[in-house]
Structure 1
Amino acid sequence: MTDISLLSATANRHPLLWPLLATLLIIGWSSGFVGIRYANQEAGVMLLLFWRTLLSGLILLPFALSIGPRPSMRTIKDQALFGIMAVFLYLGGFALAIEQKVPTGLVALIADLLPLAIAALSQPVLGERLTRRQWLGTAIAVVGVLIVSFDSLSFGTAPVWAYGLTVGSMLIFAVASVLHRRRKTQAMPVHQSLCIHTLTGSVLFGLCALTQGSLSPPLTRDFAVGMIWLVFIATFLAYAVYYTSLRLFPVAKVSAAIYLSPPVTMLWAWMLFSEPLTGAMFAGLAVTLVGVWMTSRG
């Protein structure tokens, strides 16, 4: 098992480590849009999430079994609980909300307010007190996210519970992140924990997908491209970097980088799907950058 104090000392000795991890986190977190854009045309969201988590877990399984310590049943149960919270309830909650016709722009905005919830939880649960400058940076980053998301916001006609589901999913992931940081002394290697998380999610997503039909994947190019993207970038890169960063840095600092995912997602859409960029998006990006810099530097 990796020694946490050694990792923290390493992080402090290398000032470029956090910028590198933050960049990878932003790329991985925002790239989920690309895989879903490719694959969702071919399959429902529950089937898509089932294959995303199943393939991720199966690829990691040989490494989880052969590299690293042998985990106890208690540790496996703990990690399975994190998998239910951070994979099944988080991803599945937002997917179900979109199926219930909650506007995608509103779902994305609520998801991207995750760092605000984590910042609020970090002090009472972890004792990680944010400075005034960090709270100001958080407020500025939220304003930037609102500017980026403003044009796509609408309220739609979904049932009231579906809107509550989006907020609940975001809060569940915030709680899971804080608990993961709190239990860092019992952490297993990231590839083992992520394997358990994704396989746990695949079982639950599979049960949900079965209620909607077959588990057979569409044998199409777009679905295959979407799966490759979702597994290797949106899952392996995003989650692995996120969990690694939580072990090295304060949780509020790590989560603040997620504020940059909306404008970076807009850049993905422009590069790959020729979706237009607006002046408001660039203004929101600039404001968000200032807020994230203030929060991380503090």
Structure 2
Amino acid sequence: TLWQKRTGADADLLATATLQFFGACLVAVPLALLSGDGLAVPLLLPVWLGMAWSVLVSSVAGILLLLVLIRRGAVAGVSALLFLVPPVSAAMAYLMFGEALTGLQIAGMVVAAVGVAVANRG
């Protein structure tokens, strides 16, 4: 994010995100091919809906939002928001899939949220 703030402040957000995803593909595709299963994806609607959610919302929208926030605000505050990813993911798993949350996990969520709030106060 520091590099992005210094070098990409005027860059097109879509082009920047495309370059980031291309770089990730250079690592992910060879690893997928080495795993033995290749790149085969079952032709099942739930699989494709899940993949569409992962690609469009979690990845593309997430990266574009991150780049917009970097462009508009303090890098430290934006970086601190990344610490909310695990708690939000755990909360979504609880709500969507009935995953159990332990007291320790909930305490960790609170600590992460307080830490992000403190980091963004200034």
Q: 1:287, 1:213 → 2: CA distance?
A: 39
User: Cα distance 1:184–1:279, how it changes in 2: closer, same or farther (>3 A)?
Assistant: same
* Residue aligning to 1:73: none
Deviation, 1:240, is: 0.7
In structure 2, distance between residues paired with 1:202 and 1:287: 34
1:248/1:216 Cα in 2 relative to 1: closer, same or farther (>3 Å)?
same
CA distance in 2, matches of 1:200, 1:291: 31
Query: In the alignment, which residue of structure 1 is the partner of 2:31?
Result: 208
Question: What residue is the counterpart of 2:115 in the other structure?
Answer: 291
Residue matched to 1:181: 5
Deviation at residue 275 of structure 1 after TM alignment: 0.8
Q: What residue number does 2:15 align with? A: 192
In the aligned structure 2, how far is the partner of 1:268 from the partner of 1:179? 31
Report the Cα distance in structure 2 between the residues aligned to 1:222 and 1:270, rounded to whole angstroms.
Answer: 19
- Identical positions, percent: 28
| CA-CA distance at 1:213 after TM superposition | 4.8
TM-score w.r.t. length of structure 1 = 0.37
Aligned counterparts of 1:236 and 1:204: Cα–Cα separation in 2: 18
Q: After superposition, give the CA deviation of every residue in 1:168-213 in whole Å (9 maximum; x if it has no partner).
A: xxxxxxxxx221112134x322112212322343354333333335
Unaligned ranges ≥5, structure 2: none
Cα RMSD after superposing both structures: 2.1
In 2, the alpha carbon distance for the partners of 1:206 and 1:284 equals 33
Change in 2 beyond 3 A, CA 1:227/1:207 = same
Q: Secondary structure at the match of 2:77?
A: helix
Q: Which residue identity lines up with residue 222 of structure 1 in the other structure? A: P
Q: How many Å separate the matches in 1 of 2:115 and 2:80? A: 9
Aligned to 1:229: 53
In structure 2, C-alpha distance between the alignment counterparts of 1:259 and 1:200, rounded to whole Å: 23
Amino acid at match of 2:59: T
Per the normalisation by structure 2, the TM-score is 0.81
1:53-94 per-residue CA deviation (whole Å, 9 max, x = no partner) reads: xxxxxxxxxxxxxxxxxxxxxxxxxxxxxxxxxxxxxxxxxx
Alignment of 1:30-179 (within 5 A): 177-179=1-3
Residue type at the aligned position of 1:243: L
Residue 269 of structure 1 deviates from its aligned partner by: 1.0
User: How many angstroms apart in 2 are the aligned matches of 1:196 and 1:273?
Assistant: 33
- Alignment of 1:247 with 2:71, yes or no, is yes
Q: CA deviation at 1:228?
A: 0.9
Q: Please give the alpha-carbon distance, in whole angstroms, between the structure 2 residues aligned to 1:189 and 1:218.
A: 35
Which segment drifts farther, 209-218 or 256-265? Answer: 209-218
The one-letter code matched in structure 1 to 2:79 is S
Aligned residues: 121
Spell out, residue by residue over 1:70-121, the C-alpha distance to the aligned partner (whole angstroms, 9 max, x if none): xxxxxxxxxxxxxxxxxxxxxxxxxxxxxxxxxxxxxxxxxxxxxxxxxxxx
Q: Which amino acid aligns with 1:208?
A: L
Q: Name 2:81's counterpart in structure 1.
A: 257
Greater Cα radius of gyration, structure 1 or 2: 1
Gaps of 5+ in 1: 1-176
Give the CA deviation at 1:241: 0.8
- Give the distance between the partners of 1:265 and 1:213, measured in 2 at CA: 27
Query: Aligned pair in 2 of structure 1 residues 289, 203: CA closer, same or farther (>3 Å)?
Result: closer
SS at 2:39 equivalent: coil
* In structure 2, distance between residues paired with 1:285 and 1:209: 32
Which residue identity does 2:105 align to in structure 1?
M
